[in-house]
Structures are given as C-alpha cells and as structure tokens.
Amino acid sequence: MTSRKLSSAAIRQERVLASPRFNGRVFVNTHPITTGIKPGVERPSLRDFLCGGERRTPSGPLPFANPLDAWRTPPESGLRVTWLGHSSLVIEIDGVRVLTDPVWGERVSPMSFAGPKRFHPPVVALDALPAPDVVLISHDHYDHLDAPTIRTLARTAVPFITSLGVGAHLERWGVPPERITELDWWEHATVHGLTITATPAQHFSGRGLKDRNTTLWSSFHLRGEVHSFFYGADTGLTSEYLEIARRFGPFDMVALEIGAWHPSWGDIHMGPENAVAAHAMLGSGVLLPIHWGTFNLAMHPWDEPAETVLRAANAAGVALAMPRLGAPVEPARHAGVDPWWRSVSHVPASATVDSPEPPDGDATLEWLPD
C-alpha cells in the first residue's frame, strides 16, 4: 500500500473540518452572540468613526520604560511580564520566554497608508528583542497578526503556536510549516517544559470581506513548573471562564482586554467592567489589563478603559497591575498602581486622527452581518 504524504494545507483543512467549533462552513462561538441589537444600545455608525470623538488619542508621547536591562537577568520570582502595548506581551515564565500577538507595524490595517495608527513607537526595536522561545498568535485580526512583524520573525528559528487555520497566514509570510503548531480549544503543546493550552474565547476572525470566521480564535493558558498565566486575548464576557478556572486555576496573573470596545460589542469585546467580572469568574491572579493604549480602535477616550478598570478593580478588591509601557512586572512583587496615563495631556481626536478607523483594525469586519 502506498502511503500518502499530506501537505500542510491538507492537514490543516482536515483538522478544521474535524473541529467541534466548525459548523461545516465557518467557526462558531459556543454561545450565540449578538452585536448592536441589545435593547437600549445603539450600534455605532460609520459616521461615528469618521468624525471621531473627544480625546480618542493622546496629544503627547506616552511614558516608556526600557526593559532591555531587566531582561538581561532572569526574574527573581520566576514569572515576569512586560506589556509592550495593545496585546503584545513578553512573558518570562519558569525559564521560558513567550511573545504574544506581536505587532510592530505602524498601522493595524489592510492598507499601509490608512487605518488605525499607533500612538507611540515600539517600546523596543524588534531586532533588539531577546529571542523568544515561542510566539503565540491568538487570531488573525490585524491588531493581533501583523504581516511585517511575522515576516521578520520568520527569518529566525522561533516556533509559533496559534489557533486552527491561522497557520496559512504564517506560511504565506515565510514561516516554515514545521515551526507552526495549530491548536483547537483544550488542545495543548509543550515548549521547553512549558505547557501551552488553547482555551475558549468569544470573538470572531477574518482579515477581509470574504474570510469571516474561517479561522479560529483562542485564549491561551501557560503552565510552567511553578507558575500559571492566562492570556485572554480578544473576547466578550463568557461563562466559559468558569470552566477555564476549573481546569487550570489558580493563576498567578491573568491578562484581560479592557480597550477598543463599545456596549453594542459586548458579546465579542469585554471592556473594563466586564474584565473585572471575568477576573471574578477566573477566581485568582493579578489582573493585567491589555488591548488598550496603542491604537484608536473605538469611540471612547483613549484612557477611559484605564480609569474605569482602576475604579472597578478597587471597588471589587482586585489586585491590579498597570505598568508603564515596557516596565516589567512580577506579580509576586507587585505593589499597587501608579496611574501614569494621567500625565499625558489630551486634545480632541479630530485634530489628530488622520484616517477612518474601523473597530478592531480588521477591515470593517465589525460592520458585516453575521
């Protein structure tokens, strides 16, 4: 009998078709979602994005810390996390360095000349970044999967772990298939003794008008020899956090999205108050807010998510870490929040926004009907 050797594309397609999340046409969330049709919640119009709003971008440079010196020595506690902006993290956990959703590009958009533009330059140059042991890609939206960044990382030897179907993008941009591991929810891979499990998220995917939900979206749990870290990526509030907590808790730190949201997107984006609610469901860990402070992807003031999560976390008694960009933090040695964002003055967004900016930086996919 002649054995057949399947291509990476054929293997990927077989796995997609076998996924419980795939309905034969697209990936679907565990629970039905709605956007923009909740009672009393009006869906934002394209005019809202074109005309901007108050304080959607900071007027001055954001305060940075340079993490390069800190990165030269291992974390004393064994777990150290550096927020590089939006959802890009360097996670040093029990001797393994993990890079999440790396975005070094100028814009999160299908167009190089238009779309959401970063507030600040990258905290460190990509070629100065200490070599990661693994890169995690949660899903294929532009503000989480950046082609120029992937092309640069493709020239290194770093392996990638991502959600089902996303590997096709990585291969197209130069990552060899043998360095790509695609996971369905609850599947795991091991890198240097670190167990990385893809866990549920309530979101969607797509980079254009014809590929909505053809790839999967995930959060990730990281389990080292000693420490436990949860990376929430993009999601709405979902009861699946209870199951994640049951299987993988307790956690030392949880990274949850707070920015680029609107009440009508509540099923697919969390926002600051729901981040605190999600933390309660997870039941443990210092809360590290992500998905804010780098791109203008919604109508709220750029710093509103930070102020709201600070109030909500204080009211709920939640341990909160909100470091400056580039400032490494060890949850075991964390001591309170310095609201650094208040030092940055504001001007109306109409004076600084230079192009229409659809939500999530994903080619206006939020506007397409399901």
Q: What's the pLDDT score for residue 344?
A: 87
Q: What pLDDT, on a 0 to 100 scale, did the predictor assign at position 56? A: 84
What confidence score (pLDDT) does residue 52 get? 55
Q: Is residue 99 part of a domain?
A: yes
The per-residue DSSP string of 88-105 comes to EEEEEETTEEEEES---S
Q: What's the confidence (pLDDT) of residue 33?
A: 85
Specify burial of residue 318 (Cβ count, 10 A radius: 0-12, 13-18, 19+).
middle
Query: Is residue 70 in some structural domain?
Result: yes
Domain containing residue 309: CATH number: 3.60.15.10
In the prediction, which pLDDT does 362 show?
A: 40
Q: What number of other Cβ atoms are within 10 A of residue 54's Cβ?
A: 12
CB atoms < 10 A from the CB of 307, how many?
Answer: 14
Q: Decide: 171 and 180 in contact? Cβ < 8 Å.
A: yes
For 156, the 3-state DSSP assignment is: coil
What the block records as the tokens of 157 is 């030897």
Domain membership flag for residue 28: no
Please answer whether residues 86 and 294 qualify as being in contact, where contact means their C-beta atoms are separated by less than 8 angstroms.
Answer: yes
Residue with tokens 């082609």: 147
Q: Which two tokens stand for residue 97?
A: 């360095």
Q: How many CB atoms lie within 10 A of CB 23?
A: 10
Alpha-carbon separation of residue 231 from 28, 199, 235, 237 (angstroms): 20, 9, 11, 14
The token pair that represents 62 in the structure block: 């954001």
- Separation of alpha carbons 299 and 357, rounded Å: 10
Q: Kindly give the parts of the chain with pLDDT less than 50.
A: 1-3, 50, 347-370
DSSP 43: P
Length of the chain counted residue by residue: 370
Alpha-carbon Rg of the chain, whole angstroms? 19
Residue 154, in any domain of the structure: yes
pLDDT at 252: 98
Under 8 Å between Cβ of 256 and 290 = yes
C-alpha closest to that of 242 among 202, 218, 278: 278
User: 107 to each of 40, 144, 217, 297, 354, how far by Cα in Å?
Assistant: 33, 11, 21, 11, 12
Query: Is 305 contained in some domain?
Result: yes
List the domain range (segments joined by +) for residue 252: 61-367
Q: Note whether 81 and 92 are within 8 A (CB).
A: yes
Half-sphere exposure of 238 (CA within 13 A, CB side): 26
Query: Does residue 316 lie in a domain region?
Result: yes
Strands 134-137 and 160-163, by their bridges, are parallel
CA proximity to 340, closest of 143, 54, 52, 60: 60
Amino acid at 351: A
CA dist 240 and 259 (Å) reads 21
On whether residue 193 sits in a domain, the answer given is yes
CA gap 243, 161 in Å, rounded: 22
- The pLDDT score that the predictor gives to residue 354 is 36
Please tell me what DSSP assigns to residue 61: P
What is the count of structural domains for the chain?
1
How much is the pTM? 0.90
Cis peptide before 159 (omega within 30 of 0): no
Instruction: Encode pLDDT of 7-53 as tens digits.
Output: 999 999 999 999 999 999 999 999 988 755 555 566 655 555 545 56
Q: Kindly state whether residue 2 falls inside one of the protein's structural domains.
A: no
Residue from 99, 163, 175 nearest 130 by CA: 99
The terminus-to-terminus CA distance of the chain in angstroms comes to 45
- Quickly count helices (H) and strands (E) in the chain: 8, 12
